[in-house]
């Protein structure tokens, strides 16, 4: 049976087909009346019959790669000219460089809020923007905001590094292991850090220390930077 991609935005019947499945969140991969949430790529691969062979890194290694990516974002953000920091970074979506940089660190805060307050983790919550331009008007301000975020992440790790990362946590795409959510949050940040570097290069500004293949090795990042 063929798999179906439902276009909810542009197909008038897309929303009805989505609701008929009993689904309220996106993305979804469907096959007839069966479906799997697209947030967990391993679940999607299993659903479509693909063995990715992916083995998650130990949590301690994920943490270090996450922090390497966050520190790269701290280097990049001050490089964005303040006069251009509210320009969109993509042609088909209104996403200013300032908000993309903030988003990198908001991913960490969303993770920490979910696991410390024992509430449902949702990737959608990472899109809460720093709308107040007076709070984070420049890249340097966002980099400083990142200091506190990294400190909180390290503190959480020191207090929780010996817990079971196989315990299940509630997410908007079903119960997942803490290991999966931890890894997902790390590569989510890292993917957007890659995008920040790409924007700087397009603007003719050499990024201050690009992330290397070794920095990212073991994280299940999309092959393309803007996927």
Q: Which residue has the higher pLDDT, 24 or 144?
A: 144
Residue (of 163, 166, 197, 160) closest to 183 by Cα position: 166
Instruction: Compute the distance between CA of residue 58 and CA of residue 55 in angstroms, rounded to an integer.
Output: 9
User: Contact at 8 Å (CB) between 194 and 225?
Assistant: yes
pLDDT value, residue 173: 83
Domain boundary among 54, 80, 95: 54
**Burial state string for 70-87 with b = 16 or more CB within 10 A and e = fewer than 16:** bbbbbbbbbbbeeeebee
pLDDT digits (tens, 9 = 90+) for 78-90: 999 999 999 999 8
For the segment 141-166, the average pLDDT, to the nearest whole number, is 97
pLDDT value, residue 174: 87
Domain boundary among 37, 54, 71: 54
DSSP class of residue 95 equals: E
User: Which structural domain, as residue segments, surrounds residue 48?
Assistant: 1-54
pLDDT digits (tens, 9 = 90+) for 87-127: 999 877 788 999 999 999 999 999 999 999 999 998 878 77
Among 128-137, 162-171, 193-202, 213-222, the least confident range: 128-137
Residue 1: how many CB atoms within 10 A of its CB?
6
Q: Are residues 120 and 193 in the same domain?
A: yes
Q: Are residues 41 and 85 in the same domain?
A: no
**Total tally of structural domains belonging to the chain:** 2
């Amino acid at each position: 049976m063929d798999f179906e991609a439902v276009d909810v935005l542009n197909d008038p019947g897309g929303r009805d087909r989505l609701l008929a499945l009993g689904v309220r969140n996106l993305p979804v991969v469907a096959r007839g009346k069966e479906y799997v949430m697209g947030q967990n790529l391993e679940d999607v691969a299993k659903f479509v019959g693909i063995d990715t062979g992916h083995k998650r890194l130990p949590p301690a290694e994920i943490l270090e790669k996450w922090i390497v990516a966050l520190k790269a974002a701290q280097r990049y953000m001050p490089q964005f000219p303040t006069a251009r920091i509210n320009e969109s970074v993509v042609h088909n979506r209104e996403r200013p460089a300032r908000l993309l940089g903030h988003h990198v660190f908001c991913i960490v805060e969303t993770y920490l809020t979910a696991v410390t307050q024992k509430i449902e983790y949702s990737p959608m919550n990472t899109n809460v923007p720093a709308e107040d331009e007076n709070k984070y008007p420049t890249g340097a301000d966002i980099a400083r905001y990142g200091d506190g975020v990294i400190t909180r992440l390290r503190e959480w790790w020191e207090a929780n590094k010996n817990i079971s990362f196989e315990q299940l946590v509630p997410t908007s795409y079903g119960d997942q292991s803490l290991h999966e959510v931890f890894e997902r949050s790390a590569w989510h940040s890292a993917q957007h850090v890659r995008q920040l570097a790409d924007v700087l290069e397009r603007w003719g500004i050499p990024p201050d220390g690009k992330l290397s293949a070794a920095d990212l090795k073991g994280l299940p990042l999309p092959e393309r930077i803007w996927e």
